[in-house]
Amino acid sequence: MFSLHNNYAVHMPAAADSVRDTIAISELLRKHPRGLSITEIAETLQLHRNTAAKYLDMLALKGELDCKKVGTAKNYFLARRMPVSALLHFTPHPVMVVDGRMEVAMVSGGTLELLGCSLEVLYGEPLRNLPFPLFKSQEFLAGCHEAVQGTQAIISAGAVIGGARRRLRIHFVPIVFDTGRNGCAAVLVDETASREAVEALEVSRRRYEALTADQTEFVLHAKPDLTLEAVNEAFCRHAGRTREQLIGFKFLPLLPAEDRDRVRATLRALTPEEPIVSLEIRSIMTDGTLGRERWRMRALFGEEGRHLGYHLTGTDVTELKHCEDQVERYHQNMETLIAQRTTEIREVNRTLLEVLAEKEEIERELLFTQFAFDNASDSILLFDESGQIYKANRTACEMLGYGAEEILAVTIFDLNPSIARARWAGMWAEAAPGERERTLSVHRRKDGTIFDVEVSRTFVRFADRTYFCSIARERGGGD
């Protein structure tokens, strides 16, 4: 008993040291994802080189480390591998497992079903001997080799399997066998059905466009907020606008003001049980006269009654209505007919002038505001609370070296290295819209150049949202 107790007492510290040192090695390599050599590890952890090499071999055998030769030295880094048993248990896709000799070591049942062959055809065979050109391709072999070395990859490939063309997305996953050996799991994701569905959808869309293009009726698609997504040529001709001018425009502003509320209320009342309504509304023709349109409006609903948008089909019934009006007017005296027509013309002209005046004034103000913003001599930037640039004028783009679209991906932290996230959060916590602050700061251009600027800062609030406005001028850059 004494002897056993002595041995236990002697070996326990050694075992504890081994566990502690292996944990220390793992933690060190976690901080150096590119890896370290045996000498670097031993010096950092103050271990004997032979002791460090022994522990590294132990961790490599357990599959926790990978090793690559860099010249004459070995570079060790943490393995990013999955145990093969776990991978086969959880993945729903066909899997073929390859060992370091590029031979098939395991095959899932889904793989045999996909390839239409028995296990004997694949198991234990080198990839180059398999009767499938896909597995002999250089791209597939390179992916397997890289995965065995610890680097995952994804490729897309087409292959004829069982006489049918298949489209596959292949994931090369680094794995470790139960024996500690490294390998590769090729996960075969069959995308044939999804890609064919996408192509079929595109064909259907083109056929639908071709069908609606030849229709004399107006055919429109609109979002739930009645923003137009698609219009056919018949409606473009009727509205006197191009498709590009109509897409993104709301449907209701195309109608006279008197009919908008009625149409809006009618559409809101549509339900999945009663999704269709027919309406007759007035319209202003391209020549300024009052027209009549008959519309059939269908609300589109998805699962659980989710509103997806509207399908609108319309017909110009102006001529029909004119004929009906004429028949009615023939039973009236001439003076009543003249007075009625005069009133209608005045009403049309008044409505048209109001709509045109309102539209021209709004467009003029928007164009002027945008022109003044873009051509300001100082850089003007608007940031949201996350620090992302919401809007930038042309001067800001030129000063910082970004394109108009490119600068929208820049944040305050990229632009101003003197502002940290904590300081930014504090500025927003104390935000007081309308209060201005003038200060000296720095900006960083796209090429990394940092320069001094004079900045006027303020928080502004618009449409229930707050933005940080920065108006900057380069110091020494002139007026």
Q: Report pLDDT digits (tens) over 210-220.
A: 777 667 788 88
SS3 182: strand
Is residue 361 a part of any domain in this protein? no
My answer on whether 57 and 104 are in the same domain is no
Question: Is 97's pLDDT higher than 90?
Answer: yes
C-alpha torsion sign, points 20, 26, 27, 28: positive
Mean pLDDT is lowest, of 1-15, 26-40, 79-93, 455-469, for 1-15
- The percentage of residues in the chain with a pLDDT greater than 90, rounded to a whole number, is 11
Number of folded domains that form the chain: 4
My answer on whether 63 and 128 are in the same domain is no
Would you state the structure tokens that stand for residue 426, as one six-digit string?
């504090």
My answer on whether 158 and 120 are in the same domain is yes
For 309, the domain range is 216-331
Is residue 347 a part of any domain in this protein? no
Whole-number pLDDT of residue 186: 92
Q: Which residue has the tokens 């449409």?
A: 463
Amino acid at 205: R
The phi, psi pair for 442, rounded to 5°, reads -135, 155
Is residue 437 a part of any domain in this protein? yes
Q: Read out DSSP for 209-237?
A: HHHHHT-SSEEEEE-TT-BEEEE-HHHHH
Closest listed residue to residue 293, CA positions, set 235, 366, 377, 227: 235
Residue pair 261/267 in contact (Cβ under 8 Å)? The answer is no
Is residue 161 a part of any domain in this protein? yes
Whole-number pLDDT of residue 479: 44
Could you give the CA distance from residue 196 to residue 158 in angstroms, rounded to a whole number?
Answer: 13
My answer on whether 312 and 414 are in the same domain is no
Q: Which of 311, 331, 351 is the last residue of a domain?
A: 331
Mean pLDDT is lowest, of 13-17, 233-237, 388-392, for 13-17
Would you state the structure tokens that stand for residue 270, as one six-digit string?
């549509």
My answer on whether 246 and 275 are in the same domain is yes
Residue pair 172/143 in contact (Cβ under 8 Å)? The answer is yes
Rg of the Cα atoms in the chain: 36
Mean pLDDT is lowest, of 5-9, 129-133, 204-208, for 5-9
Would you state the structure tokens that stand for residue 156, as one six-digit string?
């897309």
My answer on whether 231 and 304 are in the same domain is yes
Residue pair 96/122 in contact (Cβ under 8 Å)? The answer is yes
Residue pair 174/184 in contact (Cβ under 8 Å)? The answer is yes
My answer on whether 184 and 221 are in the same domain is no
Length of the chain: 479
Is residue 96 a part of any domain in this protein? yes
Could you give the CA distance from residue 107 to residue 203 in angstroms, rounded to a whole number?
Answer: 37
CATH number of the domain to which 140 belongs: 3.30.450.20
Q: Which of 78, 105, 130 is the last residue of a domain?
A: 78
What's the angle, vertex CA 43, arms to CA 39 and CA 45, rounded to 5?
Answer: 120
User: Widest CA span of the chain, in angstroms?
Assistant: 132
Beta strands in 317-435 (DSSP E): 379-383, 389-392
Closest listed residue to residue 210, CA positions, set 189, 225, 190, 232: 232
Could you give the CA distance from residue 114 to residue 94 in angstroms, rounded to a whole number?
Answer: 7
My answer on whether 59 and 8 are in the same domain is yes
Q: Report pLDDT digits (tens) over 381-426.
A: 999 988 899 899 898 899 899 998 998 899 999 998 888 888 898 8
My answer on whether 66 and 90 are in the same domain is no
Could you give the CA distance from residue 329 to residue 321 in angstroms, rounded to a whole number?
Answer: 12
Q: Which of 279, 306, 331 is the last residue of a domain?
A: 331
Mean pLDDT is lowest, of 244-248, 291-295, 328-332, 352-356, for 328-332
Question: Is 190's pLDDT higher than 60?
Answer: yes
Is residue 210 a part of any domain in this protein? no
My answer on whether 133 and 225 are in the same domain is no
Q: Report pLDDT digits (tens) over 51-90.
A: 888 888 777 766 677 676 667 777 776 666 778 877 888 8
Amino acid at 342: T
Average pLDDT over residues 463-470: 87
Is residue 266 a part of any domain in this protein? yes
My answer on whether 137 and 172 are in the same domain is yes
Is residue 224 a part of any domain in this protein? yes
Against a cut of 0.75, is the pTM above it? no
My answer on whether 184 and 96 are in the same domain is yes
Residue pair 225/250 in contact (Cβ under 8 Å)? The answer is yes
Query: Exposed, middle or buried by CB within 10 Å (0-12, 13-18, 19+), for 117?
Result: middle
